[in-house]
Amino acid sequence: MKAVTVALAVCACLLGVSVVLAQNGKTEKLPVAAGPKYDPVIYAELQKAPEKARNRPNPLENDPDAIAAGATLFEQHCAECHGNAAEGSRKAPSLLVPEVQSATPGTLFWVITNGVVRKKMPVWSKLPEPQRWQLVRYIKSLGGPAPAESSAPKL
Amino acid sequence: MTSAFRLVLLSFFTLSAVAIFSPSFVLGQESPYIVAYDHYLEEPGNLEIEYFSTFGTQRGGNDFHAFWAEFEYGVTAWWTTELYLDGQSTFNDSTIFTGVKWENRFRVLKREHFINPVLYMEYEHKSGADKTLKEGEGHDVEADFLTPNSEARKEHINEIELKLILSSTYKGWNFTENTLAAKNLSNSPWEFGYALGASRPLALKAAAKRCTFCPQNFVAGAEMYGGLGDRHHFGLHDTSHYLAPVLAWNLPSGWTLRVSPGFGLNDNSHQFLMRWGVAREITGFGSMVSRLFGGHK
């Protein structure tokens, strides 16, 4: 019984330490919201996408339901950190800034798939590929109307 | 009921209450596996509270119901830590607390690859009456479970367990392969085991509206696991093996339900294991705790 109590206490302490560690990470340096104060360096990961990935077209570019489905997915998986309107929070940067909105769909897909693990964004490859493309459609839609026509292949 | 078991129940119900009444939730995109692990870790700052139950048949003895609570926390995007509290009821015998486990998983590579390795390290303090069958290892066989709880619980086991998790995702399918090495710290040989899994969501595209019964909320697959002997007698001799279809249902309310009927593949295995589990993810748990201690709002 004593060993169990000690083990539980140790586990509780370690859990507490890990919670504190999680909160004292680099998130403090992230911009609170889109605007003149945001730090463009935070978006450097977008530049790391390989050319082949950058040039991938969104196969759901002409899917009429993709934006609505992407909005639902965003609310479920992304809004907690990026904010309900993708405006950014202390945990994660805004997705409304020019760096994101001018990025190619393939670049956004690559970042969603690979995450930015060292900066607390998990990999999202557990979402099936079509759902990640739906997310890309939604994110791009936040910066203006989606292109009407595209030669993208069907998924 | 022992005070230890009351402590387990109290902890579980307290945290379950937090989970139920917490306004922050997220739709889990959980894998359906109960024994195997894939390479996806808990999102940073999120806490997932899970309860699992295993009913097992026992030839020559009493059937049993083993259960455990899991508290899984995402420390960073590359480190997940997890606390387990285990117990079991053996029919016509007794209900006892059987041990605690502390598990850590570390993602090795910072980007997604065709094969994604994750390192797993666990410390376990359990009694000989543990029946959770959370992994197959060494020469564990069905006959080991015949010892009455009053005798089996006298044995105390301190064990470390290491796993290499190799997981891939291809066209919506997840394939995972886990190899296991476990060492009882009381001068026993290293024991080995394996788990394999494959799963896929029933639909790859998301529906435009939130829905409960949409096929993309269901993930189905199968897992197989068993022991591989120990350092002195490596191989399949005197080992048990199981094959289990698995199904997870990720509800929009933030709950995940899992069910998995398992079937023993040889005479050393329990003939039938019925597993089910329920989980709920609390987003921003780390922030909530941080605020309690005067951290950022």
Relative to beta strand B156-170, strand B173-184 is antiparallel
Report the pLDDT averaged over residues B14-25: 53
* Partners of residue A120 in chain B, C-beta under 8 Å: 44, 76-77
Q: Say if residue A26 is in the same domain as residue A36.
A: no
Domain that residue B137 falls in: 3-292
Model pLDDT for residues B141-199, shown as the tens digit of each residue: 999 999 999 999 999 999 999 999 999 999 999 999 999 999 999 889 999 999 999 99
A150 lies in some domain: no
> What domain count does chain B have?
1
Chain A residues touching B77 at Cβ < 8 A: 115-123
Residue B297 in domain: no
Task: Confirm whether A96 is domain-assigned.
Answer: yes
> By residue range, what is the domain housing residue A38?
31-141
Count up the domains in chain A and report the number.
Answer: 2
CB contact under 8 A, B44 and A22: yes
Interface test with B, best of A6, A80, A116 (most B CBs within 10 A): A80
Given pLDDT bands bounded at 50, 70 and 90, which one contains residue A42? confident
Which has more confidence, B250 or B7?
B250
What's the DSSP call for residue B141? Answer: -
Q: Is B10 within the bounds of a domain?
A: yes
pTM across the whole model:
0.84
Q: What residue of B is the nearest CA neighbor of A67?
A: B208
Which pLDDT score, from 0 to 100, does residue A27 have?
A: 37
Structure tokens at B76: 């960073």
- One domain, residues A54 and A92: yes
Q: Which pLDDT belongs to residue B287?
A: 80
Q: What is the DSSP string of A21-88?
A: HHHTSGGGGS-SSSSTT--GGGGGGGGGS-HHHHT---TTTT-TTHHHHHHHHHHHHTHHHH-TTS--
- Closest residue in chain A to residue B40, using alpha carbons only: A126
A115 and A41 part of one domain:
yes
B15 contact A CB<8A: no
Same domain, yes or no: A48 and A7? no
For residues A99-115, average pLDDT = 95
Q: Are residues A40 and A90 in the same domain?
A: yes
Q: For residue A48, is it within any domain?
A: yes
In chain B, residues 131-190 whose CB comes closer than 8 Å to chain A: 156, 169, 171-172, 174
Is the model's pLDDT at A3 over the cut of 60?
no
Comparing CB atoms, the residue among B27, B75, B205 nearest residue A130 is B205
- pLDDT value at position B138? 94
**Statement: residue B90 has pLDDT above 90:** yes
pLDDT band at B10 (very low <50, low <70, confident <90, very high): low
Residue B3 with chain A: CB contacts under 8 Å:
1
CATH number for position A80: 1.10.760.10
**Which strand (E) or helix (H) includes residue A101?**
helix A98-101
Whole-number average pLDDT of chain B: 90
CATH number at residue B197: 2.40.160.40
* pLDDT mean over A3-16: 52
Across B128-136, average pLDDT: 94
- Minimum distance, in Å, between the CA of residue A154 and any CA atom of chain B: 13
> Hey, is the C-beta of A56 within 8 angstroms of any chain B C-beta?
no
Q: Kindly indicate the confidence band of residue B96, based on its pLDDT and cuts at 50, 70 and 90.
A: very high
Helices (H), chain B: 3-21, 149-152, 285-292
| One domain for residues A76 and A86 | yes
How many CB atoms are closer than 10 A to CB A64?
8
